Amino acid sequence: MFIILGALLGSILVAALFSKSVQLRKSLTIGGSLMIAGLVFFTALLFPFSIQILGNDTITFFLLLAVVVCFLSAVLMLIHIPVQTYIQIATPNEYMSRIFSIVGMITKGGMPIGALIYGLILEKVAIHWTMLFTTLLTMLISVLFLILLSKMQLKDK
């Protein structure tokens, strides 16, 4: 429920912040930065010391986890919607269905593969270490992407 609520709030936020113009660089920069922050908080909540402090089965832990998941879902909309809009604008009408079929196949086809990989990893490694590695890898990729994006922005001006 909180993931859906976050996606809805994120969609409204994208509409409010960026109106009808595609501001891909600004949206990706804000979304990428907030995603990193959300992943850090999510990962911190999974560590045993956080669970011990907050209590594993307390309403406080549940609410913090729900807020972070809602926040991450909203932030992902800051990335997803402008990228989809940009693809629609940049793609000629005669290729639209082909392009979106390929994009959908890659994004939705990657989910079962990711679930398989995570399942195999989580059999061997604790979830907090897995999430820490995933967060660090995502941070590295996001920072590199944002650096390249800012350099592209400077070239455009």
Kindly give the confidence (pLDDT) of every residue in the chain, 157 residues in length, as a single tens digit, with 9 standing for 90 and above.
999 999 999 888 888 877 666 577 788 888 888 999 999 999 999 898 888 888 777 888 889 999 999 999 999 998 888 888 878 888 888 988 898 899 888 888 888 998 999 899 999 999 999 999 999 999 999 889 888 877 775 444 3
The token pair that represents 129 in the structure block:
């270490």
Name the packing angle between helices 127-156 and 96-124 (round to 10°): 150
Global confidence as pTM: 0.80
